[in-house]
Structures are given as structure tokens and as C-alpha cells.
Amino acid sequence: MIEHIFQRKTTINCRGKLIDLSTPKVMGVINITPDSFYDGGQNNTIEKAIKQAQKHLKEGATFLDIGGYSSRPDAQHISEEEEINRVIPVIKELHAHFPNSILSIDTFRSGVAEQAILHGASIINDISAGELDPNMLPTVAQLQVPYIAMHMKGTPQSMQENPIYNNVVEEIIYYFSKKIDEINQLSINDVVLDVGFGFGKSIEDNYQLLNQLSAFKLFNIPILTGISRKSMLYKPLEITPKQALNATSVAHTIALQNGSNILRVHDVKEALECIKLLVLSKNT
């Protein structure tokens, strides 16, 4: 296997701070949106966002992911100006209140990403891997910050309109083989891969990806998993997102066993418990 020939990259450089992902880390979500599927409206003021960030950091989050554009299926499209007005004041305040924290900007727009980095963010988390903004990858190359590239079929408005794959794992591996080559040609040094659970995938596709997540280790770069409280967990169980914490922990455990390096979550404490127990089981 390729992964046995080449050393797998397990570090990313965040403004001079080298983060070792050989032990998985947690990214706490802070959505500055009124309509996100789980926490819409809960953190859409600076005061609420600071309180949530403090909670995430106290519970052990390594990263905080700030987003102002809801990417749930059929979410309302907003302008770049509105997205900037939502996220930049929050990033400024979070950077001022928690100067040692590592902030990630969740956006597919290069203009939003650039402003966020200028005001204190250290990572760009792009649900489209540059597909929705041709200036995104050149902007990342210019800024030289870690870049999370996620696979999505379509757009947030269209992605769940009957997505079809012949073999979802093989097709996304092929997609990333081309995408990572494009990224490497631009000399972007720190890349994280995200298969995009729920973004243009059926429930069956999501579970195939979860069970075969280790296949993506062949790229020898860190893997982020964003599966927290998603419909692939609560719909089969006929529960709500608010009731899906236990299901999320089960899915996180599977993802970790299959090679995930970062868990992007709404519930930091419980995700870290999954990591700690898995590390303990491997070291015993």
C-alpha cells in the first residue's frame, strides 16, 4: 500500500504553531447563522459566540470553526457582503478574547476567507474545495494557511436532489486525486481532506464512506470528519438532531478507528471522550 511507503503527514502549521494530528483533535463549531440545521440562531451575536467559544475551549477544542453561511440542504443563499458582516466582527472579537486559540473560517468564498485570515483566523475550511470560487485556491496559496478541502456534489441548494454514484468511495478518491494534484501545483503546504458527509450523498453513500474512510489515507494527508448530529444519524433512528448525541459518538468512534484526524463537532466534551478512550485502548 502507498501509505506504507510514504510517511503520512500528521502536522499542520497554524501561524507558526505546529499542530500534531497523530493524536486526533477536535474542532468546535460556531455557526453565526439563523438557519443552520442544529444550532441556527444560537450563536448569532458576538456575546453568544464568545460564550460558545469559551465553552468549546474549556472542554478541550483545539480549533474553533466559524461559519456565516448555512450549508444545510435547501439553505437560503446570502450575499458575500452579508457573510462578511456576520463572521468578521465575531472573528475579531474571538481573536481578541482568545489570542492563543486557532480559528478556522468556514466559507467557500475567497473574499470572505481573506478577510477572516487578516482579522485573526488561521485555517480556511471550504465545503467546495475551490469549485464554487475559482479564486479560492490561488488565495490560499497566497495566504499560505492550512486548507480543508471538502467534497460536495452540486451546491448547498441542489446537493441533495437525487445524488447518484456508481461507487461513491472510488469516485471521491478519483476526485481528490485530481484536486490534491491541483493544490500541490500551487504549493499549498498544509491540506486536510474532508469526504463531505451529507453533502450530495444518500444515507447509504454516507455509511459506505464512513466504513471505508481508511481508504482515503492513501493520500497521506490528515482527514477531517464532519458528521456531528447529521441526518444520516438521526433519520434512520427516527429521532431529532437534538437527540442524536449518542449516535454522533458512535459515528465518531467509527471514524476515528478508520483514520480520522480531526472531528468537527457541536459537542466537544463527548468527542474528546471518544478520542481518549480510543487512544487508551490502543496503548493498553
Domain count, the chain: 1
Based on the residue annotation, tell me whether 230 is a catalytic residue of this protein.
yes
Q: Is the pLDDT of residue 268 over 70?
A: yes
119 pLDDT above the threshold of 90:
yes
> pLDDT confidence of 77, banded at 50, 70, 90?
confident
58, 230, 235, 242: the active-site residue: 230
What stretches of the chain adopt beta strand conformation (E)? Answer: 11-14, 17-20, 25-31, 63-67, 102-106, 123-126, 147-150, 191-194, 224-225, 262-265
Helix axes 245-257, 268-283, angle to 10 degrees: 40
User: Residue 112 above 70 pLDDT?
Assistant: yes
- pLDDT value at residue 42: 61
Question: Does residue 38 register a pLDDT over 90?
Answer: no
Would you give the DSSP letter of residue 132? S
Which secondary structure element, helix H or strand E, spans residue 125, and what is its range? strand 123-126
Q: Is 123 in contact with 148 (CB distance < 8 Å)?
A: yes
Sign of CA dihedral 167, 74, 134, 193: negative
Q: What residues form DSSP beta bridges with 64?
A: 28, 103
What pLDDT band is residue 43 in, cutting at 50, 70 and 90? low
264 is catalytic: yes
In the set 9, 235, 264, 282, the catalytic residue is: 264
Domain of 173: which CATH number? 3.20.20.20
Using a cut of 0.75, tell me whether the model's pTM lies above it. Answer: yes
**Full domain range(s) for residue 83:** 2-283
